[in-house]
Structure 1
Amino acid sequence: MLIDTVAWVRIEQGRILCARPRGKDVFYIPGGKREGAETDLQTLLREIEEELTVALLPETVAHVGTYEANHGPSVVRMSCYTADYHGTLAASSEIEEVAWFTYADRAQVPPVDQLLFDDLVDAGQLH
């Protein structure tokens, strides 16, 4: 089974923004699954507003890569995008904690997110 997700890659000062949903002990790159026939852009804008209370600026959204990794019996596909935003980053009611991770924190995210971490460190964007 394929789990198709989109994610917002926000890097500041060599650290990447991660979020931990309520009731979970794992951090993820912010984003989520599409609903119905949503496009990647529609899913990204909705999920980030729901999770982090900011509005991504659609004209600044850029695809940075798509990753796939096994997650139990399923395969997770994560299409990653960068974008500027308007507003103040804050955890919504569905997010327990927001954190800025370096490469040293790689083990705290799922396998598909780890692939992104590897590419970002190789590109010199993640410390």
Structure 2
Amino acid sequence: MIEVIDTVAWIQLREGRILGTRSYGKELFYIPGGKRHEGENDVQTLVREVEEELTVTLLAQSARHFGTYEAAADGHGLGATVRMACYTADFQGTVTASGEIEEVAWLSYADRDRTAPVDRLVFDDLKAAGQLS
């Protein structure tokens, strides 16, 4: 049986770069976000996860679905797939690494190979749309 890991992610762009996070003990960067808790919808999960990871408050009413992507799950063994629903949203506060996050970085398309497989699909779409330098 194929394991599907259901996640959401926050796409935050600035000057042709995308916000990426790296957890303690990991090599790859990830688009901020995470797994939903039972009963949560995408936006509730996104708001909770981003606040836990980056200490900012997403403005839920501004959330817009960007796309949903699927790829092999990094670090979960053969056959595991991650499904990532991506959203843009406005926020309040200052982005600061928190919780399991060791590093925050603004990534360009040149950093694509430093990210998880599912994130690379997002990078490709952002590059094709002229939003990622």
TM-score between both structures, scaled by the size of structure 1: 0.98
The structure 2 residue matched to 1:46, chosen from 45, 48, 65, is 48
Displacement of 1:59 = 1.1
Q: How does 1:66-77 map to 2 (within 5 A)?
A: 66-71=68-73, 72-77=78-83
Unaligned runs of 5+ in 1: none
Q: How does 1:80-91 map to 2 (within 5 A)?
A: 80-91=86-97
Task: Name the counterpart of 1:110.
Answer: 116
SS state at 1:97 partner: strand
Task: Name the counterpart of 1:59.
Answer: 61
Q: Which portions of structure 1, spanning 4 or more consecutive aligned residues, are displaced by more than 4 angstroms?
A: none
Alignment of 1:95 with 2:101, yes or no, is yes
Cα distance in 1 for partners of 2:99, 2:6 equals: 23
Report the count of equivalent residues.
127
Unaligned runs of 5+ in 2: none
Q: Mean Cα displacement is larger for which, 3-12 or 71-80? A: 71-80
Cα distance in 1 for partners of 2:36, 2:49 equals: 9
Q: What letter is aligned with 2:99?
A: S
Cα distance in 2 for partners of 1:44, 1:116 equals: 17
TM-score between both structures, scaled by the size of structure 2: 0.93
Cα distance in 2 for partners of 1:9, 1:84 equals: 10
Cα distance in 1 for partners of 2:99, 2:129 equals: 34
SS state at 1:92 partner: coil
Cα distance in 2 for partners of 1:43, 1:19 equals: 17
Alignment of 1:12 with 2:10, yes or no, is no
The share of aligned pairs that are identical, in percent, is 61
Displacement of 1:93 = 2.9
